[in-house]
Amino acid sequence: MTDITAEPFSVGSLYLAGFTQARAPHVGLMIPTTATEGVLVHIRIDRAVSPTWTLQTRVQKIAGDMFLSSLLCISAAGITVDQLKSAAQTVHVPENDEFGECFPWAQAVVHKLHDEELLQLKSMPGLVKEFDEFSAGNKVYARRDRFPNVAVSQFCA
């Protein structure tokens, strides 16, 4: 396995993280704390715990993860993990089990961070299209020996 990170990867920046799945990527928000792991804030369904979406914050392996394929930098401004978690806790978690709720939820967190002046969102429709197109081509990065594909958003700062 390689330990070389991809440019323009940066510890401490905020990323939209895409995890390869059968239909569309699972999406969360991540702040890398080292070159090999970070803190992931996302919603997920764990049917053993709840039949609906729940908010989860956890340590996420970056290098060598089988499913993490995309990291789109949306802020290099030094948003802290606590600020991200605080914003995420104010965003309503869907009360259903429908596929595809994770990206709209992540978008709402990005809006909250923008409202709190922690990042500058230039265009949500632009960001959504950019992430969809970027993550769609990244399935080849979903391997233990590949670092996720990394890019910087044109629609956030």
Q: What digits encode the pLDDT tens for the residues 88-106?
A: 999 999 988 888 899 999 9
Two tokens at 69?
């394929």
Which residues, listed in sequence order, are joined to residue 70 by a DSSP beta bridge? 18, 149
Domain spans, the chain? 14-152
Q: What digits encode the pLDDT tens for the residues 20-43?
A: 976 778 999 999 999 899 999 999
- Model confidence band, residue 1 (pLDDT cutoffs 50, 70, 90): very low
Give the global pTM: 0.92
Q: Residue 113 — φ and ψ, nearest 5°?
A: -60, -35
Q: Residue 108 — φ and ψ, nearest 5°?
A: -65, -35
